[in-house]
Copies of this chain bind each other. A is one copy, B any other.
Amino acid sequence: MNGANAAGLRARRSRGSGRVRIEDVAEAAGVSAQTVSRVLREPARVGVEARARVHAAIARIGYVPDLVAGALASNRSRVVAIVVPTLANALHAGSVEGLSDAVGPAGYQVLVGTTGYDRGREREVVRAFLGRRVDGLALAGGLLDEKADSLLRAARIPVVQLWELPDNPVDLAVGVDGMAVGASVARHLVGRGHRRLAVIGHAAASDTRSAARARGFLDTIAVLGLPTPRLLESARPWAMQDAAGLLGPLLAGKQPPSAVFCTGDQIAIGLLLGARRAGIAVPERLAIAGVGDSDLAALLTPSLTTVGIPRYRMGLEAGRMLLRRIAGEDVTPPCLDLGFELIVREST
């Protein structure tokens, strides 16, 4: 028999990992391996006495179930993955944390991949995750060329896209309407009497979120019949330090804008601090609005007008949707719009 004195045999075996296995527990508890497995996964279906013996044996010999083997056998990995551009942005870090908190209690772990706003890396990361048999995938990258898209659809696993609400989602989506965000800020600034406007966004073509906000802003200004806002772009996304350098170009020319919409708070904050250093009165000479409602926005002087985005909740809802889908339940609606909140403060 294999199980007769497994430990002794294993020590001499060439390939074994040296782990305490379920069979070792079974032997120690005087039951079959299957019963041990049941105690761990469906305790109700096992007799009280056997259950107790198994638990005692587990504690005694220090058994840690091998989830890799379990995943292979059951075809469920109990892992969900999330792909983000970077963790340096609090918006994304918050989403990862929300996802983690949503799935953790259900016994799931979170695999995190970063893309650095690069399509190629995103595809690689997605491929690797699929190879890991993740049970669900959250995408905050939003890049997804055709190849990645077909890869995902072929994988037949629950997928939730974050931030944007795509017209043709792979599967599920949770986010906010970026164009509406931009439009909302545009109406606010115009309502405050501003006519000469500017937008600062993220230059990389890959950041579709920033682009959507800028587009919503510009479209609204156009509809209102106002002059086309000046559009500036920061080299790196969300880098506060870049903002100072943008101040010059922004205010150059004969008719400088009286208000600027930044598609992210980082830039807005950098701009606001830079303006203060340079003695430019905010909002009198330049009104500034951002997006993200970072911790700082409320604390600055002047405090920053911004748009509140439920970043943590986005991850949380994404996790819940994935879990429901994994459990085979209906997920309605498949596209969840979390909405946003224009928070008017002193900077506009």
Contact = CB atoms under 8 A, between A and B. Distances in A.
Given A17-B75, A112-B100, A273 B301 contact: yes
Interface stretch (A126-134, A202-210, A219-227, A325-333): A126-134
A7 to B, nearest CB: 15
A240 interface: yes
Interface string A257-281: 0000000001001100110110000
A283 interface: no
A88 B77 contact: no
Interface in A263-305: 266, 269-270, 273-274, 276-277, 295-296, 298-301
A79 to B, nearest CB: 8
Interface residues of A, number: 61
Interface in A143-164: 151, 154-156
A114 B102 CA distance: 12
Interface string A99-119: 011001001011111100000
Nearest to A128: B109
A156 B18 CA distance: 10
Interface of A: 15, 17-18, 62, 64-69, 71-72, 75, 77, 79, 86-88, 90, 93-94, 96-97, 100-101, 104, 107, 109-114, 127-133, 151, 154-156, 239-241, 244, 266, 269-270, 273-274, 276-277, 295-296, 298-301
A129 B86 CA distance: 23
B274 A67 contact: no
How many copies of this chain does one complex carry? 2
A123 B297 CA distance: 36
Contact of A65 (B62, B112, B131): B131
A300 to B, nearest CB: 6
A132 B67 CA distance: 5
Contacts of A114: 97, 100-101, 104
Closest 9 CB pairs of A and B: A273-B299, A87-B93, A67-B131, A93-B93, A87-B97, A17-B75, A240-B295, A112-B112, A68-B71
B75 A72 contact: no
B113 A109 contact: yes
Contacts of A94: 87-88
A113 B110 contact: yes
A292 to B, nearest CB: 14
Contacts of A64: 127, 130-131, 151, 155
Nearest to A277: B301
B128 A67 contact: yes
A133 B274 contact: no
A107 B131 CA distance: 12
Nearest to A86: B97
Contacts of A151: 64
Given A75-B15, A111-B111, A273-B300, A66 B96 contact: no
Contacts of A269: 296, 299
Nearest to A155: B64
A74 to B, nearest CB: 9
6 contacts: A64-B127, A96-B112, A112-B112, A240-B299, A244-B299, A273-B296
